[in-house]
A = this chain, B = another copy of it.
Amino acid sequence: MATRQGLDAETVLQAAIELADKQGIEQLSLAALATKLTIKTPSLYNHIKGLPDLRKQLSKRGLLLVKETMIEAVIGKAEDEALLAAGVAYVDFARKQPGLYEAISALPDYEDPELKEVGAGVVSFLLRILAPYGLSEEDALHVVRGFRSMVHGFASLEHRNGFRMGLDRDESLRRLLQTYLRGLRADTGREK
């Protein structure tokens, strides 16, 4: 018998992420994952609780990484420039880690406490970017919802080949965000 390799939960998760990114979250099976790790399927249960648990881990990791990516993208930026950079970083993340991104959005729902917490982290990051706009708390929360809708919707449609015309997609995203931001300036009477 081969010497055991001493897998741990993180290695298993990384392998799952690779599989998901390569083949899509739907195709991520414990059977395929075990094969990739050169172990038998039941051995996975030493490291994960089961397939639903694994998918939850992917979602959580995805949310954490997309937030980090946005944080990194807004360094040295503020206001519209920061929001635009965050939006582009979000969509870019979905492009580079499609499986991980799918894991976020393929989640049945966000009721899980751990996921709630990570999701709340993303929201509070966005609220901080919005701070200089001087919006009321309620207004800011509506804007956060709008921002998330735009970038998630864009990433999701793009991922499913929903944009079929031969039209530059980066340009579409930039325009979407800029048009929205311009409207926001107009709404709040802070037009430049």
Max chain B Cβ within 10 angstroms of own Cβ: one of A148, A157, A161, A179: A179
A69 contacts chain B at the CB level, 8 A cutoff: no
Q: A108-B24, A146-B179, A175-B146 are in contact. Are A141 and B165 (CB under 8 A)?
A: yes
Contact with B along A105-122 (1 / 0, CB 8 A): 111111100001001100
A187 contacts chain B at the CB level, 8 A cutoff: yes
The number of chain A residues with a CB under 8 A from chain B is 50
Q: A108-B24, A182-B183 are in contact. Are A167 and B141 (CB under 8 A)?
A: yes
Contacting pair B187 A146 (CB below 8 A): no
- A-side interface mostly: helix
A163 CA / B183 CA spacing, docked (Å): 22
Q: Specify which of B160, B163, B182, B186 is in contact with A145 (CB 8 Å cutoff).
A: B163
A126 contacts chain B at the CB level, 8 A cutoff: no
The interface residues of chain B lying within 8 Å CB-to-CB of A175 are 142-143, 146
Q: A108-B24, A161-B111 are in contact. Are A145 and B156 (CB under 8 A)?
A: no
A→B interface (CB under 8 Å): 24, 26, 105-111, 116, 119-120, 123, 138, 141-143, 145-146, 148-154, 156-157, 160-165, 167, 169, 171-172, 175-176, 178-184, 186-187, 191
